[in-house]
Chains A and B, each alone.
Chain A
Amino acid sequence: MMPSWYLEKPLGEYVAAYNVEAGNKIQIEKAASGGAITAFLCYLIDHGAIDGVIAAKKAKGLEGEIVVARTKEEIISTAGSRWQVLPFTLKLKETVEKENLNKMAIVGLPCQVNFLRQMKTFPLLETDFSNRIKFLISLFCFGTFAQESILSYIKEKYGMKASEIKEVKISQREIKFIGEREVEVPFDELSKYLQVGCLLCPDYTGIASDISTGFVEDKTVMIVRNEVAEKMLREAHEMNYIKIEEITQERMERIEKRAIEKISRASKYMAQIL
């Protein structure tokens, strides 16, 4: 969707934005970026605001899967970033029904948060678990990669086989493939392997979420979109789960610039498709 106000408000409606890092209360080792999201989710589950989290977990190798985490330990085990879109499938719906989860937080990409919000606003199906979703957390996303093509590219050019890669770290400038050795590739070199569908997407932060979060330079940023989420975040801060501080104007402008970049890219590719 690309409503007219997209360009006027590239980050969507929000009430506040913070730099966030994990507090002393939770020990997280392998989080992607300081573990702020994981720590916040732990706060939510400890205080009964939610009874489960739907998030991505590493299955084997680079493959991931969507899992339901019900305890703090399970949440911590899902920490760490994923490098592809993981599809929500029927198995997830079954799990939600079976485990009888009624207050869930879902961590997803802007596209997923978008359809989940649609599902929550207008549940078209009797089986939509929309009223069980309490929190939608979106991760900043500049596009996801076509997995197979990128793996064969890395193999051809850098001689690193898919089976050697243990982990992938993505930042705005480069992508690191980590195994026994480390291959660092500039983002621009791989940008042609972005999924075409992602090139059409105008949403960088996930405007339909309750909280949008991402790693900007060296800090986790959270954009809070409603009062309830704001209150939760402040409470988590007071309880020492996370540490929040006001974000600088400069950093905010940087995020906005990135969002506008994605919107103009989407307009360009949309014109080609139509």
Chain B
Amino acid sequence: MSTQIDPRGQRFAASVTSVVLVAALATAPGALAVTLLSLQAALFATAVALGVQRTPVAAVYRSVVRPRLGPPSHTEDATPPRFAQGVGLVFALVGLVGFLTGVDALGYVATGFALVAALLNATIGLCLGCEVYLRIPTPLIAATTRSTT
């Protein structure tokens, strides 16, 4: 029914994301940081729009990394990581707005949140969709449920 993916590919993608975001923060504020953050936002957007298994990073994982690791012991549903990529996209876009409008503090904080999420995903496989949903106030959940169904 739903698309199944190799969970190690998600860890790999989160590692790449972490490296890009660290580079963006290290070079911020400036044109290079904005370029790196835009690149990462584009990767997040690709994962949300086409699926996490159809990003350039996923292609690199399939052609370079997985042949060295062997087949996965189990696969996972692609929906939760896709949701997490959407959260990452929001943070990256807010960060971009911050750096582009000169509100650097906003850029640092939003990019920092995206980095924390990516690092937790890469290290302990944190499932963002499991953490945030029940902490959202009920009326907001009702609103989003209505709009998506």
- Chains A and B belong together in one complex: no
**A residues touching B (Cβ–Cβ < 8 Å)?**
none
